[in-house]
Amino acid sequence: MWKWLIPLSVLPVVVLLAYGFRTNPREIPSPLIGRAAAPFALRSFDGAPVSLESLKGRVVVLNFWASWCYPACYEEAPVLERSWRAFRDRDVAVVGVAIQDKEESARKFIRDFSFSFPNAPDPGGKVSIDYGVYGVPETFFIDRAGRIRRKHAGALTDELFRTEVEKLLRES
């Protein structure tokens, strides 16, 4: 009878390990979350002005990319464009900032992925410094009140974009 205790004793160990899926051992809170997003005023590759001020009241997805960032930015670009098209009529703005890129290469990147949302270079890297960007790609989700609510490092997925933006849209 007691011999069955041996196989059964496997179960609590498995349960404990499964618990590990819920926790994130590497999580370190970012000091930016909850803070007001730093204002920026850039000029897009098309020449049009792009500023955070002008987007107030809308949910803003600020994405930092570069043409030399393989392969993550290449995986993420179609996701960005797709998601933008899905949400453009719903008070959402997507802004792309090209980091430390050559103008030629950046324009080619925009063409290749048929970006229809505004993209701008960041002369002097001021905006990336303001947002504490130290790698690409990084995406910031900013709520209607202009606060940074989430920072995602690495390639975006449709799922992630959708859940985060939907959540922020639901807030009035």
Residue number, 24 or 172, with CB nearest to another protein: 24
Residue of 105, 168, 104 lying closest to 139 (CA atoms): 168
The residues with which 119 forms a beta bridge, in sequence order, are 96
Residue of 159, 135, 139, 136 lying closest to 150 (CA atoms): 139
Residue 121 near residue 106 (C-beta atoms within 8 A): yes
Angle at 152 between CA 146 and CA 154, to 5 degrees: 145
31 binds another protein (CB under 8 A): yes
> What is the footprint of another protein within residues 130-149 (CB under 8 A)?
132, 134-138
Amino acid at 125: G
> What is the footprint of another protein within residues 41-60 (CB under 8 A)?
none
Structure tokens that stand for 10 in this block: 């496997």
User: How far apart are alpha carbons 165 and 157 in whole angstroms?
Assistant: 12
Residue 65 near residue 97 (C-beta atoms within 8 A): yes
160 binds another protein (CB under 8 A): no
111 binds another protein (CB under 8 A): no
The secondary structure of residue 146, as a DSSP letter, is: S
Residue number, 97 or 165, with CB nearest to another protein: 97
Binding string to another protein for residues 86 to 105, with x set by CB under 8 A, is what? -------------xxxx--x
At its nearest, how many Å lie between another protein and the CB of residue 99? 5
116 binds another protein (CB under 8 A): no
110 binds another protein (CB under 8 A): no
Binding site for another protein (CB under 8 A): 3-4, 6-7, 10-11, 14, 16-21, 23-26, 28-35, 66, 68-72, 74-75, 78, 99-102, 105, 112, 125, 128, 132, 134-138, 153-155
